[in-house]
Amino acid sequence: MHKLYFKYGTMASSKSAQALMCKFNYEQKGMKVLLVKPSLDTRDDAEERMVRSRIGLTAKCYTIAPDESFIDLFEKVNAESQVETIIVDEAQFCTAEQVDQLKQLTKNANVLCYGLLLDFTCHLFEGSKRLVELADSLQEIKSVCRCGRKASVNARFVNGKCVDHGPTILIGGDESYESMCYWCWKSELKK
């Protein structure tokens, strides 16, 4: 029986690296993997379509827009060769409907989703919320705060100041975000 997995963590917790290592492991055993990321992740050139980890691992991927269907994409790719595993990076950017589609696809393949659980205000992303509701397996990928405690917050910085307001989605990396524990985040907000 195939399952829907959600592996979540804060920024810089190795989610993309683990997704790419998982892809490698399946492919090394001769299995076809469909690697996808939501088109809302605009860090790469639109034509390049890559999943990239901070440690330098990369792989070409498909992208999916919020109004597109994972079922349609699966059927298209599966018609070319039998897909046995679907891996979704940046799964927090999926819509609730797309997560429902991923759950339906577990009839045909294992689905492994990697992404953030919480936005910079400590609220669930839409895709993450639905994954928590539907996933057969939830696994936290842990990372550490500057103080040594477990990081649980994706703190956003604007002009060097920690903020807790603004658009939910603001694509960025180490220049805009830092993984922190709740207490360091609250302390930074007071500065």
Residue 151 per-residue DSSP state: P
What CA–CA distance (Å, rounded) separates 107 from 125?
Answer: 25
Identify the burial level of 101 via C-beta atoms within 10 angstroms of its C-beta, where 0-12 means exposed, 13-18 middle and 19 or more buried: buried
From the candidates 90, 133, 140, 188, give the one annotated as an active-site residue: 90
- 97 classed as catalytic: no
Q: Which residues face 137 on adjacent strands?
A: 5
Terminal-residue alpha carbon distance, the chain = 51
Compute how many other C-beta atoms are within 10 angstroms of the C-beta atom of residue 134. 15
Identify the burial level of 19 via C-beta atoms within 10 angstroms of its C-beta, where 0-12 means exposed, 13-18 middle and 19 or more buried: buried
List the Cα angle 45/38/77 in 5-degree steps.
95
Positions marked active-site: 90
